[in-house]
Amino acid sequence: MSSPELQALADSRARLGLVALLIGLAALAWWSTIRAMAGMGASPGVELGALGWFIGVWVVMMAAMMLPAVSPTVALYARMTRQNGLTRPVAFTSAYLVAWGAAGIGAYALYALGRHAFGAQLGWHAGGRWLAGSVLALAALYELTPLKDVCLSKCRSPLGFLLGTWRGGARGAFAMGSRHAAWCVGCCWALMAALFALGVMSILWMAVIAALITVEKVLPWRRIAVWSTTLVLLALAVGVLAVPGSVPGLVIPSGGMTGM
């Protein structure tokens, strides 16, 4: 076997090893999230706890949900650097967690503001059910918007993005990861809103949303992936609004919003 062939084989093994590492970290994050959420309420409108605790759990959740979907992009970036070592891929990946951590802070603030401003009006048996169903319906509609299409294109075809925004060094890797993560937030924020509507502390709904994100970003048939996600969200919206008790896995709150 010639030297170029040996180098290509080594590069391929390195990329596979990097993908396996990211998936292994995602599996560890799932295990940690399941432990952290043991015994917690899994219904819509559940109390999020202190900001520091929530952000810690949220970042681990994002690692569990996002690392499998982003692993091909990180592997492509590692190949393009043509350098051994994990410093740059780690910096690139860390930017994703930082970006989603910032998004988590924004979601926490909006959630807390809504609870403070409307309180019992957002209880499940008041306006909460209608709010949850509306959020799911809006998330479904967002799947078909031009903005979603542009953001998903960046996530599904990262080569053009990497070539157009290339920066050297670990700092450059973090900057590139941050910019790509911004496209990821633009692509997936509505799905995360749907997670809040279904129960942000529910492992089941976490897994469902993570599966939808991965399918959209990885499945070769883009239209099938997008329309499948849209139909799932619409079905959940109708179920929550019309017959919430028959939605599999949905934990219906039994009391007011503060008692969920």
Give the residues of the chain that fall short of pLDDT 50: 5-10, 256-260
Q: What is the pLDDT of residue 5?
A: 47
Residue 259: inside a domain, yes or no?
Answer: no
The pLDDT value recorded for residue 83 is: 67
Can you give the pLDDT at residue 210? 93
Taking only the tens place, the pLDDT of each residue in 186-202 is 999 999 999 999 988 88
Kindly state whether residue 215 falls inside one of the protein's structural domains: yes
pLDDT at 260 (0 to 100): 36
First-to-final CA distance of the chain: 64
Triad 49, 51, 52: Cα angle to 5°: 110
| Residue 93, in any domain of the structure | yes
Q: Please choose, from the candidates 140, 139, 115, the residue with its C-alpha nearest in 3D space to the C-alpha of residue 128.
A: 115
260: in domain: no
Task: Provide the b/e sequence for 197-228 (b: ≥16 CB within 10 Å).
Answer: bbbbbbbebbebbbebbbbbbeeeeeeebbeb
In a domain, 256, yes or no: no
The answer to whether 230 and 143 have CB atoms below 8 angstroms apart is: yes
Tokens of 86: 């994990």
| pLDDT single digits (tens) 227-251 | 999 999 999 999 999 998 888 888 8
* pLDDT (0 to 100) of residue 99: 93
Question: Is the residue at 83 inside a domain?
Answer: yes
| Structure token pair of residue 198 | 């279904």
Residue with tokens 């479904």: 140
Domain presence at residue 254: no
- Containing domain of residue 201, as a range? 3-249
pLDDT of residue 3: 54
Q: Is 255 inside any structural domain?
A: no
Query: φ, ψ for residue 20 (rounded to 5)?
Result: -60, -35
Total domains, the chain = 1
Q: pTM to 2 decimals?
A: 0.86
